[in-house]
Amino acid sequence: MDRTEDQHDHEREQQDMEEEHFIDQEEVLAEVPIDGDQPMDEDDEAEDTLGEMQAGSSSHAEDNSVQSFPNHQSSVFSVAVHPTEALAVSGGEDDLGYIWDITDGEVIVKLTGHSDSVSCVAWSHDGEIVSTGGMDGKIRLWRRVGKENYRTWEFLTELQGPDEVMFIRWHPKGTVLLAGSNDSTLWLWQLPSGNTMQVFAGHSGAVQCGEFTPDGKRIVSACADGTLILWDPRSPTPVFKLTAEDGRFNLDGITSIGVNPTSTLAVVGGAAGGVRVISLTKGDIVATLGGHTEGESIEAVTFLDLTANGTGYAVTGATDGKICLWDLSTMRLRATLEHEDAITTLLSVPSPKNNLLVSASADKTLRTWDARTETLLRTHKGHNGPILGASLGLEGSVIVSAGDDGVCLVFTTEETEDGLLQR
């Protein structure tokens, strides 16, 4: 396999379901009492945090990062920034994960226990639990100790079941964790108990991408054999299934999926460059989008709110280096942005900067775009190899990247002419 194909096995693993409508209150366990040392004091003021980061900014012409984290001994496959704090978790080929401070690179916790690459990492929606998923089939979880700050963590539990973990996702509103497996199964656990809630069996290939719908009521999953399934978390029976046997849906394997903010549409990307828009309410194919190069796989999907009617844009990125912006009200291609090599990650900056898009690429750079004007605002440099993952933090003001060069870098999303961060 070439470099970009090899990344499929890792990025789609990246790339909280305690809701009353499907989880009874008696199923939810009270938080387990925790012991541990008293946490250190931490100043969590975002402005102070970002000021420290700016002060440490590199002056090297080809490195405009504000902080680096070089502790991994080989490729970093996944990174995620804490929902509110200046912390990141990263996982790599060295079988290790780390929780670290993005302002100074300090290691907060070394996350051990995996016997193979840590291919995916994620925070719970409230940032109280962090999870790592590995090619060894293990999912390991750590929990914050105390309530004063986020400097002390303890090991919580290890989940087993998948053959090889392809991705992990937390429910958007509760402590429920979803994982896709290389053995065609999809798993759902309740935390902190670690009890298995469901094992979904309906795919015929590796379940390499999946998402909770933003409203938390459904799960969308897809496999390497080209099957897309919508699930009700309460039932092991699919709500609907689309397969490659339907010629209109033959994508030569599904490589990425995304669900729009209203939980009504899924955008599905395939290994051969095809994109389909699916109605999650009807189970029908709404549109076929053709803007990427045939034979180049779709690696990333995200959404932007750029229209007055609220329909929004879908954004797709592929190994052809193209980023396509689609107006979902007309299903038309509105713009194409480009990198010099494969797109690996797309990130939408949250409101009020919801016109901003961040892309990461195998060309060793990340870029911040104004999607409304199709303008490149900033190129983020510093990596010496392909960028395999990225995450936004501190309300979208910083980007943390994961590199094939074994380094994580921190960048400010935007800069003014005087070099100060815009907020």
- On whether the CB atoms of residues 359 and 371 are closer than 8 A, the answer is no
Contacts of 231 (CB under 8 A, 6+ apart): 186, 200, 218, 219, 220, 221, 238, 239
- Where the chain has pLDDT below 70, the residues are 1-61, 307-311, 416-423
Task: Measure the CA angle with vertex 348, ends 274 and 256; round to 5°.
Answer: 30
- Residue 24, pLDDT score: 41
Q: How far is CA 306 from CA 257, 258, 347, 371, in A?
A: 20, 17, 15, 8
Both tokens assigned to 8: 């499929």
- Residue 308, pLDDT score: 61
4 in helix, strand or coil? helix
User: Residue 391's closest CA among 102, 16, 98?
Assistant: 102
What would the DSSP string read from start to end of 7-47?
HHHHHTTT-----TTTS-GGGSPPPPP---PPPPP----HH
Alpha carbon 283 to chain centroid, angstroms: 25
**Residue 338 is which amino acid?**
E
**Residue 112 is which amino acid?**
T
E strand segments, 35-134? 67-69, 76-81, 87-92, 97-101, 107-111, 118-123, 129-134
**Residue 348 is which amino acid?**
S
pLDDT of 46-75, one tens digit each? 445 544 454 444 334 589 999 999 999 999
